[in-house]
Amino acid sequence: MNETVIILAPQFEEVEAITPIDFLRRAGIRVTIAGLTERTLTSARGVSLLTDVTLEEIENQYFDAVILPGGRGAWTIAESDRACNFILKHYQKNKLLAAICAAPAIILGKTLKILGNKNFTCYPGLEREAGCGNYNKMQVVQDGNCITAQGPGSAAQFALAIIKALAGNEKALEIANATLLTIDF
């Protein structure tokens, strides 16, 4: 079974976090919800969420994918040495990194310089913050082991791209059909 982790910090974008958690679990992919420093977090719109663990509790483990939602929490994650080291060690092991909204530009680009010459997308306007990579206006972009997406409106497509990368096209189509989404891959 594939194992993923989603890292949340206060003021995370709830749609970008909950949609991947829901869709991946529907696909039979294990998702560990990790709070950056605490177990109870409040989202950008005041939704409280209890995480499974804190990042400190799992920082020595490896996952098949690390998922990074946007919102103000992306800047907090980018400022955390623990989170950045965790993300980098996964990238260096060629694990999947999936980031949406502000996270591609702020975490993967500006802070970690992971985007290099990779194609990526992010919340429109933040691409200037990335400092590297090739910005693309598509809803979801995959380049190698990085999947990036624009924002809340692309959360379902983002989740399906992660499923496709981890469990294959057939599983992604199954989840798309079960959730009444139209996809084209």
Active site residue 101: yes
Q: Which of 69, 79, 54, 58 is nearest to 104 (CA)?
A: 69
User: How do strand 3-8 and strand 65-68 relate by DSSP bridges?
Assistant: parallel
Two tokens at 151? 């924002």
Residues in contact with 7: Cβ distance below 8 Å, sequence separation at least 6, in sequence order? 34, 36, 55, 66, 67, 68, 77, 83, 86, 87
Q: Annotated catalytic residue: which of 84, 101, 122, 132? A: 101
Write out the catalytic residue numbers. 101
